[in-house]
Structure 1
Amino acid sequence: MKLHPIVEAVTRRIVERSRAARSAYLEQVDAMAARPPGAQSMGCANVAHAFAGLPGADRFRIVEQKAPNVAIVTAYNDVLSAHAPLSRYPDILKDEARLQGATAQVAGGVPAMCDGVTQGAPGMELSLFSRDAIAQGTSIALSHDMFDAALMLGVCDKIVPGLLIGALHFGHLPTVFVPAGPMTSGLSNTAKAKVREQAAQGLVGRKELLAAESAAYHGEGTCTFYGTANSNQMLLEAMGLHVPGTAFIHPGDGERELLTRQAMRSVLAITRAGRFAPIGRVVDERCIVNAMVALLATGGSTNHLIHWVAVARAAGMVIDWDDFSALSAVVPLLARVYPNGSADVNQFQAAGGPGYVIRELLAAGLMHGDVLTVHAEGLQAFTRIPQAEGGRLLWREAGASGDQSVLRPASEPFSATGGLKLLAGNLGRSVIKVSAVPEDRHVIEAPARVFDSQEALLQAFNDGALERICQESAAGGVVCVVRWQGPRANGMPELHKLTPPLAVLQSKGFKVALVTDGRMSGASGKVPAAIHVSPEAGCGGPLARVRDGDLLRLDASTGQLDALVDEAEWHARPVAPMPQALQQANSRGFGRELFAGFRRHALSAEEGACTWL
């Protein structure tokens, strides 16, 4: 199928925009790749230190036989259910390396925090910046420079982008990503959301809420809703950085260990065949566009409008929200997975999963098929689904959708356009996830109520103040503005806990919306939310001009985000400063002092919130 002209045009635009930076990056990749392996070029004391902890046979393989040595970078901890299975992976991978006549070492571990644990708590203010800390940790691990290839073990929200950014700074190494898969289905996402809304209204107590949450999050594996963690896995499949079809196989399934072993075989195959496919070459402009298309086609996490901008920059490429917007206009929505549907990722996988989505997008000319991947067959291999037979891995064709309420063909999509929209106006540039928002809520025009923190909004809801505002408003609603939530203000935490109270107001018939320079993640759901507003209020952005009662208009159909205030008055208004008490609160305790430099140097959300540029 011929490539869609808009996909082709966006790719060409990215190539032209990135030409100088990408050329410089690839020169560095080639220079690093041309050097002799570390074990052959380093001093004897260096080599001895690097391999002192290895069994004698492994040392012999590396030093005498010059066998490949593979770095394992792991994000294991057992606070994250998705990462708990990773404790077993290094031994499996080392065993497989020996079977293949190679060696492997755990080069380093990186931090991995669970956003589900820190939602609404001070620790969430470290979450976004943990991505760059993970990238730095990955670089530290690989800086030993004793490796011929690398395996990245990680799954969740900031971890995969951080590992990917770090790996791209060692772009000369062949690299494969190794996930652990989702937990089995527990309490449905729909039932969980209902209990959360009941708790927000005081209809159930802590005991009932904890029981529901524990039934939803109940074992090893990734959370089963289609948030940032599972969007990560979809994007890695679309980029060809996994063993094909690895993303959504359960940790306990028979295929999982076989797929983990295959990851070692795949990275060694690239290394030994001399096939020039280091990660810095695999992740090119076409690969990045494929990831963007896959995100839009599945209604994935809005976090990736930040993270994949940063990923692209790490490989010398520049993308922006205009690129996402142009693609969203032509990429159909093929999946309905919670929060933009009722199914979970296990149902998504059963219906055909990433293999089905990638096949449909390739057939429709919406993805680049002529890309390098970690599999010799290229992206076509990622249209298949793995299964175990007789202790061996086989891949079968995805076939027709197993459930058209979850996955549809590109010829009969849920929507003709993607699940994300760009908003712009005198309030700045923003994005909205519309795939889960009812059609009659795509346009909200109502008076503003300004909050300086998410706690203040929750208090106003609990006090009944928000409902009274809605009742008294001629528009029958309110636009809640939550500012001082950008990268420089407080690290840009997710505001996931705001969804239930706003959903309660919406269910009562009020027109409500959220406008914020913070994040909502994959949890962005049925309440219209203009998020990532840039420039942020903390940098003098327009949200610092908004006052209670200003009429605001959020129009997802036209891409409008405006304060309907006289233009002269608007520009004459002083920019409100961030309250001193808030500044102090955001910079103390929970390790936030250590991240002062990150806050000070962070770029805008649209620039990837990068702290290293």
Structure 2
Amino acid sequence: MHATLTSVTQRIQQRSKARRALYEQRMQAQHRQGVHRGALDCGNLAHGFAACGASDKQQLKLMNAANLGIISSYNDMLSAHQPFERFPELIREAARALGSTAQFAGGVPAMCDGVTQGQPGMELSLFSRDNIARAAAIGLSHNMFDAALYLGVCDKIVPGLFIAAARFGHLPTVFVPAGPMPSGLPNKEKARVRQKFAEGKLGRAELLEAESASYHSPGTCTFYGTANSNQLMMEIMGLHLPGSSFVNPDTPLRDALTAFATERAVKNSEPAGSYLPFWRQIDERAIVNAMVGLLASGGSTNHTLHLVAMAAAAGITLNWDDFAELSKVVPSMMHVYPNGQADVNHFHAAGGMSVLIRELLGAGLLHGDIQTIMGTTFAESYTLEPFLDDGRLVWRDGPSESLDPEVLSSAAKPFSKSGGLVVMDGKLGRGVMKVSAVKQEFRVIEAPVRVFADQEALKHAFTAGELEHDFIAVVRFQGPRANGMPELHKLTPYLGSLLDRGFRVALITDGRMSGASGKVPAAIHMTPEAIDGGPLAKLRDGDMVRLDSIEGHLEVLVDEQEWASRECATVDLSAYHHGLGREMFAGFRQLVGGAEEGASTFGGFEAAEIGAKEAPRVAEPSL
């Protein structure tokens, strides 16, 4: 075991000791109170199966067979979730074949950041994560279930489902993916067309044609953003079946995996005699595995928020220093867009998860002893791959090495020796920066700032030709309390174009960037946010700032006395708080914690009750 992996894990365990103990105590209490319909009165139970067919109803009257609760993010507008339309019936049939039952417990909302980028709906995106967790909790609150299957893929959906799974941690849990769409327009060409459009050199018709060729069928988008980072992390925590994350939708293998996921949920249930609840499976070691997988793959920066919130729901306290320390020793092993030109289908064909996991286990960078939904330890099963043999699902050893070293490298010969995530700290506060796709010559930038209130202001300045020079863009009042912390991906073509013209440009913001952002150096998630009097609120146009992602420093080069005497800028945000439902999330903006605490509206779960002693950075409101 790598020494840094051990020390970070132990530090998280020690920091979380009291919080985790209280969580485990509560999960045990939930189990004792009854994990399924056996705890219900007859009237409750009759309501719970009134709509079922005769055979399912008879089975549900028996208390020695498992009943599975299905929580799904299905909708038929979004490509990633449309394949889930068929899954409930597949699951019900597989459960019946085992003498068990499955019921659709509830649907959760699923919004797509690709649709809402740069639109008012994006200001609900981050909050949708906690809304999804609440919706899943409502579905499972009927207490009819012996295990739960969570059907989700994209950005906020899987983190929200994970939070719900943690709070229903007495239930065995299986996450069921839908898979990526087949490859479309190459990512390099898509990025070229977007940049040409931003420069006014192509029209909307050409842009729409390119986008439609990129996003063209059911399944997850194929770039390596937050959605596919989700899938990798679920597998590397042992919550997906081995090798299942990147199998395309609507294929015989995908259907066979869905049926087998159902079988594992049944077998892990208490009626089956091998009870494996979520809380026993997911602990500090599993969370560290997720962090390592994220770093090794060059995954989405959004997970410096989501993983913190997900871990908190399981009684575990993370902070950004944990990510940064692991990043120094975890090699970068995937070149998938935006870190390269390949997509996740190429990664899967190159050996995918089995090769990545084999390499990380061999380097001592994963906890191979965690429990998994397979009923085995992680090291025993997660270098296997699924195949169909005459229609029967079988598992074989995955490749011993990458089949395409340009897409998937080895731990011994990585694309980079570090995971590419840096914590930025200094007079402007704390933030994070993903450097895996940033060229070395742009890792340190010293330039005057240009302050913007939002993305549109930067766009107008670009169009007017005002940005033809070296500068650092500061887009502030974009944090969770200000306007829900939208992704600012709309900035990428403009800043990328300036970078390509030879200007030294960078971004600093208390907002987010897309999980697909890459080549522009960007210090994001800055905390404290500007609306709370964070240092970004003191900046003025022309202030010199030094962004050093090599050392992790973010400094403003202004006279100390002048800086101390400056008033914080204020802004009228009322226009961002109404329309398209944003007024209904006013309570979320009031409850939400800071970025390093996961931008969560849940307060802190057990941490709030024990005085948050494990989380000295946290100033969380209690529920």
Q: Which TM-score band (shorter chain)?
A: over 0.9
Q: Once the two structures are superposed, what CA deviation does each residue of 1:255-286 show, in whole Å capped at 9, x if it has no partner?
A: 10000001100111111443342112211000
Amino acid of the structure 1 residue aligned with 2:397? E
Contact 1:298 1:419 in 2 (8 A): no
* CA distance in 2 between partners of 1:17 and 1:370 (Å): 21
What residue is the counterpart of 2:511 in the other structure? Answer: 518
Q: What is the SS of the residue equivalent to 1:214?
A: helix
What residue is the counterpart of 1:204 in the other structure? Answer: 202
Q: Once the two structures are superposed, what CA deviation does each residue of 1:93-145 show, in whole Å capped at 9, x if it has no partner?
A: 00111011000000000000010000000000000000000000010001001
- With 40-49 and 329-338 compared, the bigger mean Cα shift is at 40-49
Contact 1:40 1:63 in 2 (8 A): no
What residue is the counterpart of 1:158 in the other structure? Answer: 156
Residues 1:265 and 2:263 are matched in the alignment: yes
Contact 2:65 2:272 in 1 (8 A): no
Superposed, 1:469-508 pairs within 5 Å as 470=469, 477-508=470-501
What residue is the counterpart of 1:474 in the other structure? Answer: none
Residues 1:594 and 2:555 are matched in the alignment: no
Contact 1:444 1:553 in 2 (8 A): yes
Q: What is the SS of the residue equivalent to 2:525?
A: strand
* CA distance in 2 between partners of 1:393 and 1:409 (Å): 28
* CA distance in 2 between partners of 1:444 and 1:268 (Å): 55
Q: What is the SS of the residue equivalent to 1:514?
A: strand
Contact 1:79 1:114 in 2 (8 A): no
C-alpha deviation, 1:213, in angstroms: 0.2
Q: Once the two structures are superposed, what CA deviation does each residue of 1:298-355 show, in whole Å capped at 9, x if it has no partner?
A: 0000000000000000000100000000000000001110000010000010011111
Q: 1:37 to 1:537 in 2, by over 3 A?
A: closer
What residue is the counterpart of 1:226 in the other structure? Answer: 224
C-alpha deviation, 1:438, in angstroms: 0.6
Residues 1:126 and 2:127 are matched in the alignment: no
Amino acid of the structure 1 residue aligned with 2:598? G
Residues 1:557 and 2:550 are matched in the alignment: yes
Question: Please, which runs of 5 or more residues in structure 2 have no aligned partner?
Answer: 604-623
Question: Residue 524 of structure 2 is aligned with which of 531, 537, 547?
Answer: 531
Amino acid of the structure 2 residue aligned with 1:383? T
What residue is the counterpart of 2:302 in the other structure? Answer: 303
What residue is the counterpart of 1:370 in the other structure? Answer: 369
Q: What is the SS of the residue equivalent to 2:22?
A: helix
Amino acid of the structure 2 residue aligned with 1:352? G
C-alpha deviation, 1:31, in angstroms: 1.2
What residue is the counterpart of 1:345 in the other structure? Answer: 344
* CA distance in 2 between partners of 1:331 and 1:65 (Å): 47
What residue is the counterpart of 1:473 in the other structure? Answer: none
C-alpha deviation, 1:41, in angstroms: 2.3
Contact 1:333 1:416 in 2 (8 A): yes
Q: What is the SS of the residue equivalent to 2:129?
A: helix
What residue is the counterpart of 2:456 in the other structure? Answer: 455
The two structures, once aligned, show a CA RMSD in angstroms of 0.9
Contact 2:169 2:278 in 1 (8 A): yes
C-alpha deviation, 1:388, in angstroms: 1.1
Identity of aligned residues (%): 57
* CA distance in 1 between partners of 2:497 and 2:434 (Å): 19
C-alpha deviation, 1:397, in angstroms: 2.2
Q: Once the two structures are superposed, what CA deviation does each residue of 1:481-521 show, in whole Å capped at 9, x if it has no partner?
A: 00010000000000011000101000000000000001113
Residues 1:96 and 2:94 are matched in the alignment: yes
* CA distance in 2 between partners of 1:316 and 1:242 (Å): 21
Contact 2:70 2:148 in 1 (8 A): yes
What residue is the counterpart of 1:442 in the other structure? Answer: 443
C-alpha deviation, 1:69, in angstroms: 0.6
Amino acid of the structure 1 residue aligned with 2:234? L
What residue is the counterpart of 1:312 in the other structure? Answer: 311
Contact 2:455 2:475 in 1 (8 A): yes
Contact 1:431 1:533 in 2 (8 A): yes
C-alpha deviation, 1:65, in angstroms: 5.4
Q: 1:377 to 1:38 in 2, by over 3 A?
A: closer
Amino acid of the structure 2 residue aligned with 1:558? E
Q: What is the SS of the residue equivalent to 1:324?
A: helix
Amino acid of the structure 2 residue aligned with 1:182? P
What residue is the counterpart of 1:358 in the other structure? Answer: 357
Contact 1:386 1:394 in 2 (8 A): yes
What residue is the counterpart of 1:83 in the other structure? Answer: 81
Q: Once the two structures are superposed, what CA deviation does each residue of 1:18-73 show, in whole Å capped at 9, x if it has no partner?
A: 01110000011111112335422211111110100111111111213531110000
Amino acid of the structure 1 residue aligned with 2:203? G
What residue is the counterpart of 2:434 in the other structure? Answer: 433
Q: 1:26 to 1:65 in 2, by over 3 A?
A: closer
Aligned residues: 600
Residues 1:336 and 2:335 are matched in the alignment: yes
* CA distance in 2 between partners of 1:13 and 1:456 (Å): 43
C-alpha deviation, 1:449, in angstroms: 0.1
* CA distance in 1 between partners of 2:207 and 2:111 (Å): 23
Q: Once the two structures are superposed, what CA deviation does each residue of 1:398-420 show, in whole Å capped at 9, x if it has no partner?
A: 22201000011101111111021
Amino acid of the structure 2 residue aligned with 1:483? R
Q: TM-score, normalised by structure 2?
A: 0.95
Contact 1:517 1:532 in 2 (8 A): yes
Question: Please, which runs of 5 or more residues in structure 1 have no aligned partner?
Answer: 471-476
Amino acid of the structure 2 residue aligned with 1:588? H
What residue is the counterpart of 1:281 in the other structure? Answer: 280
Q: Once the two structures are superposed, what CA deviation does each residue of 1:189-220 show, in whole Å capped at 9, x if it has no partner?
A: 11000000000111100000000000000000
Q: TM-score, normalised by structure 1?
A: 0.97
Q: What is the SS of the residue equivalent to 1:553?
A: strand
What residue is the counterpart of 1:608 in the other structure? Answer: 598
Q: What is the SS of the residue equivalent to 1:523?
A: coil
What residue is the counterpart of 2:293 in the other structure? Answer: 294
Contact 1:171 1:280 in 2 (8 A): yes
What residue is the counterpart of 2:408 in the other structure? Answer: 407
Question: Residue 184 of structure 2 is aligned with which of 175, 183, 186?
Answer: 186
Contact 2:84 2:151 in 1 (8 A): yes
C-alpha deviation, 1:575, in angstroms: 1.2
What residue is the counterpart of 2:138 in the other structure? Answer: 140
* CA distance in 1 between partners of 2:488 and 2:311 (Å): 26
